[in-house]
Amino acid sequence: MKMLKLIPCFTLLLFSGYYGIGQKENLAHYETKVKVDVTQQSFEVELTINYHAAESESIDSLEFLIHENANFSGCEAVGLSMFKEVAKSNQGKAVTLYFKKPWMGAKKLHFYYTSVLKKEDAPWGIDQITTDWIELSLNSTWLPILSSFTLQFTADVELELVADKGFEMISSGTSKKVGRNKFEITNTVSQIDLVLVGSPAFHNTNIGDITIHDHRKAEERAAFIAAIGQKGYEWLNRLFGEVKAMPPVKLVIAPRPESGYARKNFIILNDGISVKDTVGLANFISHEFAHFWSSGANPLTVHRWLDESIAEYISWKFVQKELSASAFHDFLMRIEKEGPNLAAVYEGNDTGAPSHAVMYRKGVAKLYALEKTIGEAAMFTFLTAWFAVEKKETETFLALLEKLEGGKVAGDFRTTLGK
């Protein structure tokens, strides 16, 4: 996630599966009925999670995270012994399901709860329910999310809004209006969460593979964003589309100054975009696009650099190759000068997620140093192979590097990550 502003929220992230090469990852399908009362800034949810455990995984309990305001009227599942709620940091809480005996394979989990989302409930300024804008995502943990952040899911949603105004609702998948403020939403691309965004007055622009949904009419901005977005979309798909091709992208412009974020082919941008900053926008959008491939590390661990540093490296390579080699050079000079004053990227122990500066600058410098060692073509070949790996941990990264480029290259890179 490319952050325009660092926000102290444990859920402002993008990540996905977290299992070994060749193993099947955790997957699920969320079937949910959601009723949002816009005036009360509240919602109620009936949710069924069709949970499929990872291959050979035996489960005796499952811990989910959700916003502290969630008021559960029930949790149900075959073989469920009990569930407990425990307060967590950052306005979250854990809901743990305990089973009478371990199980493998698939199981249906049912959750019933209500919640409230007012300004004071989301002080980081992103998710909200107002008469002019609705935004629900991982930033408010409005749905129960597996606490290991390893569960991706598809979704089918029946959504009803109680509101005086007529809304349009969008998500990363399809949204069908079936009545006044009633919608059927389907997401077929697996995600770590379900993002729903709504406005009474979206202004939509379609250019190539990019669709822009703006909360206000801004034709110059829409054309500017779409042109740069299309260029980055095509460049990235040419490079990494053989792993998986990015589908057409939706870009949403939200009426707020806080950070943007991405959910694969669904990207939320803030309202502060300037049509005069071509390099800045190209870097930001291509970073978010790159997360379609560069995702999967547990964000609470030291391995998060793999997602963020690689996405930032790729975004600056796009700037270098397609827009401004001099801007890329200037960026390298800045981060190489700053690097010695920052903590190591990876030292072989888990001390939690690296700092923003380490992930977005020092990690990028280390990747560029690797590129200079093995060559640009080999670097892109290596990253293509890396994006097909499910277990996003640094040791797995280094093992793949050794397999493709030899023990000396991998050993030297391990050393440089620790400096």
DSSP code at position 57: -
- Taking residues 212-229, report their average pLDDT: 91
Comparing 312 with 23, the larger pLDDT belongs to 312
- Residue 2 above 60 pLDDT? no
Nearest one of 102, 101, 110, 193 to 155, comparing CA atoms: 193
Is 93 domain-assigned?
yes
Dist. CA 321–CA 235, nearest whole Å: 9
Q: CA of 299: how far to CAs of 146, 243, 245, in Å?
A: 13, 23, 24
> Among 4-8, 27-31, 237-241, which is the least confidently predicted range?
4-8
> Angle, to 10 degrees, between the axis of helix 363-374 and the axis of helix 325-338?
120
Determine contact, residues 46/33, Cβ cutoff 8 Å: yes
Q: Would you state the structure tokens that stand for residue 6, as one six-digit string?
A: 């660092």
Dist. CA 129–CA 42, nearest whole Å: 8
Note the pLDDT of residue 29. Answer: 96
How many other β-carbons are positioned within 10 Å of the β-carbon of residue 249? 25
Is 17 domain-assigned?
no
Task: Say if residue 38 is in the same domain as residue 184.
Answer: yes
**DSSP letters spanning 321-349:** III-HHHHHHHHHHHHHHGGGS--S--SS
Name the helix (H) or strand (E) containing 417.
helix 407-417
Q: What are phi and psi of 305, to 5 degrees?
A: -60, -30
- Residue 8 above 80 pLDDT? no
Q: Please, what is the average pLDDT of the chain?
A: 90
- Most confidently modeled range among 45-49, 246-250, 283-287: 45-49
Q: How many residues does the chain have?
A: 419
Dist. CA 83–CA 85, nearest whole Å: 7
Task: Say if residue 310 is in the same domain as residue 388.
Answer: yes
Is 224 domain-assigned?
yes
Task: Say if residue 181 is in the same domain as residue 37.
Answer: yes
pLDDT tens-place string over residues 110-165 = 999 999 999 888 877 889 999 999 999 988 999 999 998 888 899 999 999 999 99
Dist. CA 250–CA 254, nearest whole Å: 13
Q: CA of 418: how far to CAs of 23, 207, 294, 339, 347, in Å?
A: 29, 44, 22, 12, 5
E-assigned strands of 201-342? 203-207, 210-214, 249-253, 261-263, 266-269
**CATH number of the domain that residue 94 is part of:** 2.60.40.1730
Is 3 domain-assigned?
no
Task: Say if residue 43 is in the same domain as residue 112.
Answer: yes
Sheet containing 92-103: order of strands: 80-87, 92-103, 59-67, 145-146
Task: List the end-to-end C-alpha distance of the chain, in Å, as a whole number.
Answer: 24
Q: Nearest-5° angle of CA 296, CA 298, CA 299?
A: 105
Task: Say if residue 40 is in the same domain as residue 170.
Answer: yes
Comparing 122 with 39, the larger pLDDT belongs to 39
Share of the chain above pLDDT 90, in %: 72
Of 270, 290, 310, the domain-final residue = 290
Query: Chain centroid to CA 326: how far?
Result: 30
Q: Would you state the structure tokens that stand for residue 136, as one six-digit string?
A: 């629900």
Q: 234 lies in which domain range?
A: 205-290
Split into its structural domains, the chain has a count of 3
Q: 187 in helix, strand or coil?
A: strand
Classify each residue of 88-103 as buried b or exposed e, where b means 16 or more C-beta atoms within 10 Å of its C-beta: eeebbbebebebeeeb
Note the pLDDT of residue 263. Answer: 83
Is 398 domain-assigned?
yes
Exposed, middle or buried, 253 (CB in 10 Å: 0-12/13-18/19+)?
A: buried
Dist. CA 341–CA 266, nearest whole Å: 35
Task: Say if residue 68 is in the same domain as residue 178.
Answer: yes
Task: Say if residue 285 is in the same domain as residue 318.
Answer: no
